[in-house]
Structure 1
Amino acid sequence: MTASNQGRGPLYRLYTSRLRRRLSPETVPHHVAMMIDGNRRWARQLGFDSAAHGHRAGAAKMREFLGWCDEIGIKVVSLYLLSTDNLTKRETGELSDLIEIIAELADELSREADWRVQHVGRADLLPPDLARVLADAAERTREHTGLHVNLAVGYGGRGEIVDAVRSIIAAHQVQGGSLDDLAASLTPEQIGEHLYTGGQPDPDLVIRTSGEQRLSDFLLWQSAHSEFYFVEALGPDLREVDFLRAIRDYTSRDRRFGG
């Protein structure tokens, strides 16, 4: 039996409700980043002949996850859905299925009452249809003031930093400044402003499923002072109680911001 089929009785609901009640809006993270992992393993363990079953279940779980975040007062959530490495290293059939699933998820999220959807990543590397869906989702929700959802699609953390530096250089050249002047004045704050997430707070908490404990090129700059929490459950098996335990653990930590 998978974790998603466990813990649905009254004791589970009572425990989940108790965890939720013990969280206060003042202590929950403002920005949570989620690395959903294990979709393919989940599909394989259940005997499916295609990884698409796992990716679709993972997308459904992410929709559920966003609801959990919204319910406890988290303001920004970043979901790592497709890396630049995935675009070149995934088998063609699996990649096509994944692109379709991501497009469906983005469109669905953009029709949620007041959520704002933003694409973070390289649109020029994506198939045109997917890039258009992501752009439409962002435009449709541009004025929304509810949960801010970053969809990291065609995303790579190293590439993001390179793009930010290029943007800074280009802007500096337009103003007629020299490279020597730029080198002398460049600050971490400038780079942060030119990232795909420019203007947003950095993630307070990064969660990764399936027991993997690595960043995989996700929000490298932004997560410099983030807290990390690793869940053993495969992506589609993530339960609300796992999420609430992660938030509880975060609220109990003494954040030293590199100190």
Structure 2
Amino acid sequence: MGVFPLAAPPPPPPAHVAIIMDGNGRWALGRGLRRIAGHKRGAEAVRTAIESALRLGISYLTLFGFSSENWKRPEAEVRDLMGLLRYYLSNEIAYLNERGVRLQVIGDRARLHPDIGALIEKGERATAAGRRLTLVIALSYGGRSEIASAARRLAERVAAGEIRPHEIDETMIAGHLETCGIPDPDLLIRTSGEKRISNFLLWQCAYAELVFIDTLWPDFTRQDFEQAVREYHGRERRYGAASG
């Protein structure tokens, strides 16, 4: 009787996946709809990403929800986006809790309306016990601004005599970023065919694998997510070291 070799176990999933959710406006305009229709459909695609991350056993999922540059968009669009954000924060917390998902928000909250800030804090408290997945939403966020803020805090500590300039290293800088305590992304996905990272997690994505897909965000599927992870698994991660 023949002996069949055991199938190799699947590779471990990336611990942290970050996504630039791009293409909502083009999705809507291509259908003769207002841009807000694309944003609403895009909010539904967030659930697809969360379910996919849970299915794959990913521990951290970071989504670029609203950039610091997005404040320059037309006032009506920003108002619609803020209304959609209020709805999401008010109505999706129960969904996150049911699935053991912890919510964490990074970005400049001072620019958000106080009621949105209160909803964020309420959602973070309500989901604090989630252990299956940490969902990080970047709102009013910019990578350069985050690094500049960390530099200012370190400069203040030097001026106060708490630390000396020569003590500042990469670990200390990372500890003053908003993502302190969160592992750097292993994989960064951007939808819609654009091939840039748009000021997103500039420090944290130093060694992330970048995967760009043509799918517009509202059409993002579990298959898109899984294909990006398969591409990630097919790459050799050397972290600057020479190949063998």
Give the TM-score, by structure 2 length.
0.90
Distance 1:134 1:240 in 2: 27
Do the aligned partners of 2:27 and 2:38 also contact (CA within 8 Å) in 1?
yes
Q: 2:173 aligns with which of 173, 191, 204?
A: 191
Question: In 2, Cα distance between the equivalents of 1:103 and 1:64?
Answer: 20
> Distance between the aligned counterparts of 2:92 and 2:200, measured in 1?
21
The 1:161–1:43 alpha-carbon spacing in structure 2 relative to 1, beyond 3 Å, is same
1:59 matched to 2:43: yes
Candidates 204, 214, 225, aligned match of 1:222: 204
Residue 83 of structure 1 is matched in structure 2 by 67
Moved more, 187-196 or 134-143: 134-143
Q: Which amino acid aligns with 2:118?
A: R
* Residue pair 1:23, 1:248 contacting (<8 A) in 2 also: no
- Which runs of no fewer than 5 residues in structure 1 stay unpaired? 1-21
Which residue of structure 1 aligns with residue 83 of structure 2?
100
Stretch of structure 1 that moved more, 147-156 or 134-143: 134-143
> For residue 189 of structure 2, what is the amino acid of its counterpart?
I
Corresponding residue for 1:70?
54
Aligned to 2:148: 162
Shift of 1:172: 4.0
Q: Distance in 1 between matches of 2:130 and 2:53?
A: 17
> For the residues of structure 1 that align with 2:93 and 2:190, how far apart are their CA atoms?
24
Alignment partner for residue 147 of structure 1, among 133, 138, 149? 133
Report which stretch shifted further, 192-201 or 105-114. Answer: 105-114
Q: CA RMSD in A?
A: 1.6
Q: Distance in 2 between matches of 1:195 and 1:23?
A: 36
- Give CA deviations for 1:134-171 in whole Å, capped at 9, x if unaligned: 12111212232221011100100000001112222334
| Aligned mates of 1:254, 1:72 — CA distance in 2 | 20
Q: Is the helix fraction higher in 1 or 2?
A: 1
* Separation in 1, partners of 2:91, 2:158: 39
Report sequence identity in percent.
35
- The 3-state SS of whatever aligns with 1:222 is coil
Give 1:123 deviation, angstroms: 0.5
- Larger deviation: 100-109 or 193-202? 100-109
Task: Tell whether 2:18 aligns with 1:36.
Answer: no
1:249 alignment partner, SS class: helix
Structure 1 stretches of 4+ moved >4 Å: none
The 3-state SS of whatever aligns with 2:25 is helix
1:213 pairs with 2:213: no
| Cα distance in 1 between the residues matched to 2:58 and 2:238 | 21
SS at match of 2:205: helix
Contact 1:109 1:117 (8 Å CA) reproduced: no
Query: 1:152 and 1:37 mapped to 2: Cα distance?
Result: 14
Unpaired segments of 5 or more residues in structure 2?
1-7
Which TM-score applies when normalising by structure 1? Answer: 0.85
